[in-house]
Amino acid sequence: MSTDRAAPPSLRDLRDDKRGAILVIAVFMAVFLVGCLWYLVGVGDAAIYREKMQDGGDATAFAAAVYHARGMNIIAMLNLIMAAALAVLIAFKVALLLATTIAVIAGILCPWTAWTCPVATEAGDIAVNLQTNIIPKVQNIVDTILKACSESQRWVARLTPWVGAGRSVVAANAYTPTVKGGVALSISMVPMGDRIGLPVQEEPFDKLCGRAGTMLGDLAFGWIPGLSLAGSLFGKLVSTFPGFFCGGSGGGALSAADLAQNAKDQCAQAKTAYDQANQGKQNVKPFDTKKCESDTIAKLQQSGGSGGGAGSTAGETSKMIFDGARNGNDYFQVYGFVLGDNAAMHQNAKSRVEMPAWGKASVSPGAITDALEKAGVSEAEFYYDQVTAGKLAWADYKDDALWNMRWRARLRRFHLPTQVSMGTISGVLGSVPGAASGLGDVAQAINGAAGAVIIH
C-alpha cells in the first residue's frame, strides 16, 4: 500500500510564489497615508485658525464702520432740523416782507382808492407786530435750536469714532479664544485742521440759509405742476440776503487758514503800535508775536471768528463734507486689527509634522512669521449710498451727502492707507484703552512685511 505525499517546495517554487506580496506595499502605503492625514489635519487647523482670525477682523472693522455711518446720519438729521427751524424764521420774514409791501402799496393808493386805506393800516399793524414782537421771539428760539444742533454735531463728529472703536473691541472679544483682542481705528479719531473728527467741516451760514429757503419753497410751490424749480430759485434768493431772511451775517465760522491769517494781520498791527510806543526806550521786552497770534486765534474761535457781535452766526452753522474727503478714499475707511492666540495651532502642528517625518522635520516659526500669524487685519468703510440716476460722480452729490440719511457701511479688501501711515496706526494702537497688548507691534510687523500687498 503506497501513500502519496506532497513534494517539499523547491527553491523555484518559493521564488515563484507571490502570495502576500501586496502586504509589503500596503504597510508602506499605510504609513504614508497616515502621514498625509496628519499633514492634512495640520493644514486644516491652520486654515480654521486663519478663517476665525479673518472673521474676527471683519467683525471688528465692520462694527466700527457701522457707528461711523450712524454718526454721519445723525449729523445729516441735525442739518435737516436746523434747516427746518430756520425755514420757520424765513416764513415769518417773508410774511413781514409781504405785509410791508402791501402796506406801502396800499398807502400809495389810499388817496385815490378809499378801500385801500384800511388795508394799509391793517397791513402796517401786522408788519409792526411781526417786526417788534413775533420775529424777535422766533429768532431767539431758532438761534437756540441752531446752536444746540451745531454743537451736538461737533460732539458727534468727535466722539462717534471712539464709540465705534469701543464697540469694535467688544466685537473682537466675541471670537475668543482664537482672538485674544482687537480694535478698529480710523483717521476720524484724530481731528485735524478744518476736519472736526468725522470727515465733516463747518458750512458757511449762507448755505444753511439757502437750504432752509429751498425747503420752504418746495413746501409752498413744489406740489404745483410746473413750479418744481421755484424752491431752488427761492433758496438762491434767500442765500443772497442771509442777513435779512436768516437773521445772521452769512459769514459763518472762519476756516483754520482764515483764522491764522486774521490773527497774523491783527498781531502785525499790534506789533507796529507797540514798537512805535516804545521807540527809544531801553530794557523794553520785544513784542511776542507767537503768543499774540495764539491768543488772538483762541479769542476768534470762542467768538466763531466774527467777534460774537450782533447778527453773528457763530456756533450756528450746519456741517458739510470735508474738502479732502470723497466716497471711497481714506477718510471713509476703518481698519480692524485683531491679535490671535496661535499657541495651540503650533503645538498641534509640531506633533503632526514631526511624527510622519520621523523627527527629521520641525516647526520653528521666525519672529516676523509668528507676528503675522497672530495678526488679523481687515478693512471696512462707511459711504454715502447715492441712488439718484445720472449723478454718479462725487462732485454731483457731494453737496447733498449730509442732507440725506443714506450713509451705510460695508467690508472692503484691505489696502494700506495713503493719507496715514501704518507707523501712525501702530502708535495709535498702543494708546487705545482696552486694546490688547502687542497690537502696535503687530501693526509695525505688517508694515515691514506687507509692503503694497492686498490682504483679505
129, pLDDT greater than 70 = yes
Query: Quick one: pLDDT at residue 309?
Result: 38
Instruction: Write the CB contacts of 177 (distance below 8 Å, at least 6 apart in sequence).
Output: 341
In 222-370, the DSSP E strands lie at 319-321, 333-340
Instruction: Write the CB contacts of 123 (distance below 8 Å, at least 6 apart in sequence).
Output: 99, 100, 102, 103, 106
Region 397-404: what's the mean pLDDT? 90
Asked whether the CA dihedral 57, 62, 67, 72 is positive or negative, the reply is positive
Band of residue 250 on the pLDDT scale cut at 50, 70, 90: very low
Among 50-64, 203-217, 276-290, which range has the highest average pLDDT? Answer: 50-64
Band of residue 106 on the pLDDT scale cut at 50, 70, 90: confident
Region 433-438: what's the mean pLDDT? 48
Band of residue 25 on the pLDDT scale cut at 50, 70, 90: confident
Band of residue 264 on the pLDDT scale cut at 50, 70, 90: confident
Query: Quick one: pLDDT at residue 226?
Result: 65
Percent of the chain residues past pLDDT 70, beyond the cut: 72
Region 196-208: what's the mean pLDDT? 90
Distance separating alpha carbons of residues 373 and 354, to the nearest angstrom:
20
Query: Quick one: pLDDT at residue 443?
Result: 46
pLDDT tens-digit readout, 290-315: 888 787 777 665 544 444 333 455 67
Average pLDDT, the chain: 77
What crossing angle do the helices spanning 439-450 and 422-431 adopt, rounded to 10°?
Answer: 170
Instruction: Write the CB contacts of 187 (distance below 8 Å, at least 6 apart in sequence).
Output: 199, 330, 331, 333, 417, 419, 420
Give me the residues paired with residue 380 across strands. 334, 411
Region 121-130: what's the mean pLDDT? 85
Place of cell 480710523: 186
Q: What are the domain boundaries of the chain? A: 38-140+159-197+324-456, 254-303
Distance separating alpha carbons of residues 145 and 253, to the nearest angstrom:
17
